[in-house]
Structure 1
Amino acid sequence: MKWPPRVGRSGDTVARWIALTTLTAMLTALLLTWLLSQLAGVWARPPLLQTGLLESLASISRIIDAAPPEQRPAIARSASGAIYTTTWLRRFEDAGLPAPDDEADFRSGEGFLRSQLRNPNARIIGYEPADWPADDPGAEYVLMVELRDGSWVKFSAFTRSWGLDELPRNLIVIALVLLSTIIVALIATCHLAAPLERFARGARRFGSDFRAPPIAVEGPREIRQAIVAFNAMQAQLQHFIHDRTQMLAAISHDLRTPLTRMRLRGEFIDDPEQQAKLFRDVDEMQAMVNSALEFFRDDARLEPATAFDLAGLLHTLVDDYRDVGVDVQLSAQGRVVYVGRPIGIKRMLGNLLDNAIKYGHEPAVMLEQGSRAVRIRVLDRGPGIAPALQDEVFKPFFRIEGSRNKHTGGVGLGLSAARAIVLEHGGSLTLRNRPAGGLEVRVELPFA
């Protein structure tokens, strides 16, 4: 019993990757929220012990404590700065502060401050704006330090200047958490999207090169299954194209042989008029067979895709027409590198220029390069095509004049073959009548 090839572990699925990505992003966000909160708390709002502010306050308090009472107000005013204001008070009540409640914000540095003051019995009381009555305009940060003689030094500030406020700190933490979450999501999605991108590249390569190798089977289970199915389809198409080419080569030989016999037998017809009619029919049938076989076989479709100069190809094609006395105007500046099948592109442009020369006059071709695609416009000054027929002309064997005379327009396969080549390159071919008369055929070929 032959087992089917494995296409991936049962647990390696797109759903599993999405779930793991979401879970990892959430856990990482929670971890980094805690970590960044700790780091940002120390950095953006450091404790008093880490700011050096308490050392400064202790030094000022010692200086005032050592000075005579009459000099203390002047020393306190001199010690005031942009961060805080210093005031010497004989009594605590002179400060006009609310009743002492909770000085927890200063309690962590209370022992350190007493040691700096060299007075272990000094009273230290702190206030925050929240300790004041609601809507009190005088709410501020205040630190009261008792001196040895029972007087007080008041340090006051309207805002806390030894760190960031709550809103900036929270914004910093949120921004860092979002950034870390985005990084985790990008890493996971890139890991998931890489097999899809390689799958898409392989599919596009097969669209322009039937000899493209199979796509490597990798990625989650669903993607691997899709790649295996695509590779099987690609192999079947390649086998079909090979068989069709061989079959049409045999048909080509089988059809040409009886036509050759008909022409030889026509040589024995005595009536010149009937002989001429037979030869015309044989020649027309031969032309139709050759055109049909060329369209259906189209060996250029088996041509591998390669990088070539599209502008140089157009110059070569226009020079070929000029060599036979047909003047084709060309507008192409610079070098345009395109990855495709140069023989097929040249055949497509030749069909379009043949129509422009056959059905109009003043044939011209213009090449324009964009950021995502290259545009080729084939122009003429002929009768144009009625809008109702602009889709019909792409059907095989459709001719506007309704005749099968090879002298009036071939067998109606030129535009069909041209559009097939353009579509195989992932592009588009459209028609429109020019305002001043004539037809414009616009070809859009995307860059790979």
Structure 2
Amino acid sequence: MNLLARVRRGLPQPKITIARWIALTTLAAMLFLLLLKVLFSLLLSVWAQPPLLESGLIEKVAAVTRILDAAPMAQRATLASAAGDGSYTVQWLQHYQEAGMPLLVDAELRQGTPLLRALLKRPAAQVQVFEPGDIPGYAAERGYALMIELTDKSWVLFRAAYRSWGLDELPRNLIILALMLVSSLAVALLAARYLAKPLERFAEGARHFGKDFNAPPIPVVGPHDLRQAILAFNATQAQLKHFLNDRTQMLAAISHDLRAPLTRMRLRAEFIDDAQLQAKLFKDVDEMQAMVDAALGFFRDDARLEQTTVFDLGELLLTVVDDFKDAGVEVVLSGPHRCVYSGRPVGIRRVLVNLIDNAAKYGREPTVVLAVSARQIEITVQDRGPGIAPELHEQVFAPFYRIEGSRNRDTGGVGLGLPAARAIVLEQGGSITLGNRPGGGLDVRITLPLG
């Protein structure tokens, strides 16, 4: 066993790439088709024998007839008896009546008679063909019979047992073609299954990573080049996760370290005699403190560490709206009451609370609309406030950006609400866009993919 393992390790191990796998699959399909044709040819001789014109029987009949026609009359009976080969018997008759066959008006084999006359080189030769139904029931032998008149007006009788002459050429070729197509489809499905399964896992893993940065690596299976692509994707995924973790820790540390100088500034402001200057300084310190706290909350967002789970998005929306109603804010909710979604419920809840809170603060008549289609889910948060200028629809997603004018700066916030909402939605594979409503107001649309 050790020797066999050493020999196997010593042999070259070819890399099965997608191109080589397609070539091997094509070769296997061709070999399989050839094997199937051979097997069908064997079956052909059992249950689908070739028609009479293709069996070679007419050529044998013509040869025997020519021999008997040229032989002396005294030897014809013996020669005819010896000419049978098991599939048919031959009998020489002095007169037609000796055969005991009925007289038929149309007893010629329409396709075979011209060929038989041509092989006999006698265009006017009389040929009588009898099927099993033409032979009387009292006859000693039933089956097929063929009578040919010789040049001296005697007859030769060929008898064959009852048999099926099989399928014609067109039906047989159609059956062969159908079996070849079925076998090709079977081989193609097997080959596609080998390639499609790793590709499906690759695509599913990429979609999962788009919705969850903590998704596990993709299993490395499949042809060589596909395995290399999966390895590269897994390495990129690990690097992105490492980069995000390092960035989060660094920015959180910076935000944390800013608290110490802010505390010192507040203490020093206590010793300022000018009350008006002191109030302004306290206000700036409080605003900076709020920004630091918001930054710490943004960078240490536990929602980003949340695992993906299946939950009822419609029930989550209803719960959020009820919470606002309990706080005295009337929010209108429309859409299906049940919607199963795979994502991060804590993160989505935080996004909804942020957007509904903005709609209540900066506008009026906050409304939430849930729409579900075959491929995606849309959650729209609307209000009837002043809206946002179209040229600022992208700028408001920049961290710490606050609008002067259309959105009141004194109502609170440091400009991290919308950036945090977009980050959470993007991490779940979705998108968030802004639009102004006809008649005034803002329309915030969240799109989440299904599947």
- Work out whether the TM-score is over 0.5: yes
**CA distance in structure 2 between the aligned counterparts of 1:212 and 1:300, rounded to whole angstroms:** 15
Number of the residue aligned with 1:136: none
Number of the residue aligned with 2:22: 18
The aligned runs of 1:363-442 (5 Å cut-off) are 363-401=366-404, 406-408=409-411, 410-442=413-445
Matched residue of 2:311: which SS?
A: strand
For residue 376 of structure 1, report the CA deviation from its aligned partner.
1.2
Give CA-to-partner distance per residue, 1:214-248, whole Å, 9 cap, x none: 33222222222222223333333333333333333
Matched residue of 2:371: which SS?
A: strand
> What amino acid sits opposite 1:415 in the alignment?
L
For residue 281 of structure 1, report the CA deviation from its aligned partner.
0.9
Matching of residue 318 in structure 1 with residue 321 in structure 2: yes
Pair 301,87 (structure 1): closer, same or farther in 2 beyond 3 Å:
same
**CA distance in structure 1 between the aligned counterparts of 2:275 and 2:311, rounded to whole angstroms:** 52
**CA distance in structure 1 between the aligned counterparts of 2:442 and 2:371, rounded to whole angstroms:** 18
Give yes or no for contact 1:348–1:418 (8 Å, CA) kept in 2: yes
Give yes or no for contact 2:367–2:382 (8 Å, CA) kept in 1: yes
For residue 10 of structure 1, report the CA deviation from its aligned partner.
4.5
For residue 338 of structure 1, report the CA deviation from its aligned partner.
1.3
The aligned runs of 1:159-170 (5 Å cut-off) are 166-170=169-173
Matched residue of 1:407: which SS?
A: helix
Number of the residue aligned with 1:361: 364
The aligned runs of 1:289-308 (5 Å cut-off) are 289-308=292-311
Among 118, 122, 132, the residue aligned to 1:101: 118
Pair 312,15 (structure 1): closer, same or farther in 2 beyond 3 Å:
same
Number of the residue aligned with 1:124: 147
Give CA-to-partner distance per residue, 1:238-282, whole Å, 9 cap, x none: 333333333334323211222223223333333322222112111
Matched residue of 2:429: which SS?
A: coil
Number of the residue aligned with 2:226: 223
For residue 180 of structure 1, report the CA deviation from its aligned partner.
1.6
Number of the residue aligned with 2:209: 206
**CA distance in structure 2 between the aligned counterparts of 1:288 and 1:404, rounded to whole angstroms:** 18
Give yes or no for contact 2:388–2:406 (8 Å, CA) kept in 1: no
Q: In terms of mean alpha carbon deviation, does 25-34 or 191-200 score higher? A: 25-34
Number of the residue aligned with 2:287: 284
**CA distance in structure 2 between the aligned counterparts of 1:25 and 1:67, rounded to whole angstroms:** 55
Number of the residue aligned with 1:237: 240
For residue 184 of structure 1, report the CA deviation from its aligned partner.
0.6
**CA distance in structure 2 between the aligned counterparts of 1:98 and 1:207, rounded to whole angstroms:** 75
For residue 99 of structure 1, report the CA deviation from its aligned partner.
8.1
Give yes or no for contact 1:396–1:412 (8 Å, CA) kept in 2: yes
For residue 377 of structure 1, report the CA deviation from its aligned partner.
1.5
Pair 99,333 (structure 1): closer, same or farther in 2 beyond 3 Å:
closer
Structure 1 unaligned regions, length at least 5: 1-7, 50-57, 59-63, 77-85, 126-143, 153-160
Pair 373,272 (structure 1): closer, same or farther in 2 beyond 3 Å:
same
For residue 181 of structure 1, report the CA deviation from its aligned partner.
0.8
Among 180, 185, 197, the residue aligned to 2:183: 180
**CA distance in structure 2 between the aligned counterparts of 1:400 and 1:303, rounded to whole angstroms:** 31
Number of the residue aligned with 1:275: 278
**CA distance in structure 2 between the aligned counterparts of 1:46 and 1:117, rounded to whole angstroms:** 28
> What amino acid sits opposite 1:124 in the alignment?
M
Q: In terms of mean alpha carbon deviation, does 396-405 or 190-199 score higher? A: 396-405
For residue 150 of structure 1, report the CA deviation from its aligned partner.
6.6
Matched residue of 1:101: which SS?
A: helix
**CA distance in structure 2 between the aligned counterparts of 1:386 and 1:422, rounded to whole angstroms:** 23
Pair 87,304 (structure 1): closer, same or farther in 2 beyond 3 Å:
same
> What amino acid sits opposite 2:337 in the alignment?
G
Q: In terms of mean alpha carbon deviation, does 206-215 or 280-289 score higher? A: 206-215
The aligned runs of 1:130-141 (5 Å cut-off) are none
**CA distance in structure 2 between the aligned counterparts of 1:97 and 1:14, rounded to whole angstroms:** 58
Q: In terms of mean alpha carbon deviation, does 367-376 or 406-415 score higher? A: 406-415
For residue 432 of structure 1, report the CA deviation from its aligned partner.
2.7
**CA distance in structure 2 between the aligned counterparts of 1:36 and 1:68, rounded to whole angstroms:** 40
**CA distance in structure 1 between the aligned counterparts of 2:413 and 2:23, rounded to whole angstroms:** 61
Give CA-to-partner distance per residue, 1:122-160, whole Å, 9 cap, x none: 8536xxxxxxxxxxxxxxxxxx99xx99799xxxxxxxx
For residue 191 of structure 1, report the CA deviation from its aligned partner.
0.6
Pair 392,243 (structure 1): closer, same or farther in 2 beyond 3 Å:
closer
Pair 322,208 (structure 1): closer, same or farther in 2 beyond 3 Å:
same
Matched residue of 2:321: which SS?
A: helix
Give CA-to-partner distance per residue, 1:318-338, whole Å, 9 cap, x none: 122112111111124232221
Pair 361,182 (structure 1): closer, same or farther in 2 beyond 3 Å:
same
Pair 422,172 (structure 1): closer, same or farther in 2 beyond 3 Å:
farther
> What amino acid sits opposite 1:254 in the alignment?
D
> What amino acid sits opposite 1:17 in the alignment?
W
Number of the residue aligned with 1:32: 36
> What amino acid sits opposite 2:223 in the alignment?
P
Give yes or no for contact 1:321–1:328 (8 Å, CA) kept in 2: yes
**CA distance in structure 2 between the aligned counterparts of 1:65 and 1:359, rounded to whole angstroms:** 117
**CA distance in structure 2 between the aligned counterparts of 1:68 and 1:13, rounded to whole angstroms:** 74
Give yes or no for contact 2:51–2:167 (8 Å, CA) kept in 1: no
Give yes or no for contact 2:367–2:383 (8 Å, CA) kept in 1: yes
Structure 2 unaligned regions, length at least 5: 1-11, 54-88, 90-95, 121-126, 158-163
Number of the residue aligned with 2:60: none
**How many residue pairs align between the two structures?**
375
Number of the residue aligned with 1:130: none
> What amino acid sits opposite 1:24 in the alignment?
A
**CA distance in structure 2 between the aligned counterparts of 1:337 and 1:163, rounded to whole angstroms:** 60
Pair 387,179 (structure 1): closer, same or farther in 2 beyond 3 Å:
farther
Among 254, 257, 262, the residue aligned to 1:259: 262
**CA distance in structure 1 between the aligned counterparts of 2:296 and 2:414, rounded to whole angstroms:** 12
Pair 88,397 (structure 1): closer, same or farther in 2 beyond 3 Å:
closer
Number of the residue aligned with 2:197: 194
For residue 168 of structure 1, report the CA deviation from its aligned partner.
4.5
Pair 88,337 (structure 1): closer, same or farther in 2 beyond 3 Å:
closer
Pair 124,351 (structure 1): closer, same or farther in 2 beyond 3 Å:
farther
For residue 177 of structure 1, report the CA deviation from its aligned partner.
1.5
Pair 30,401 (structure 1): closer, same or farther in 2 beyond 3 Å:
farther
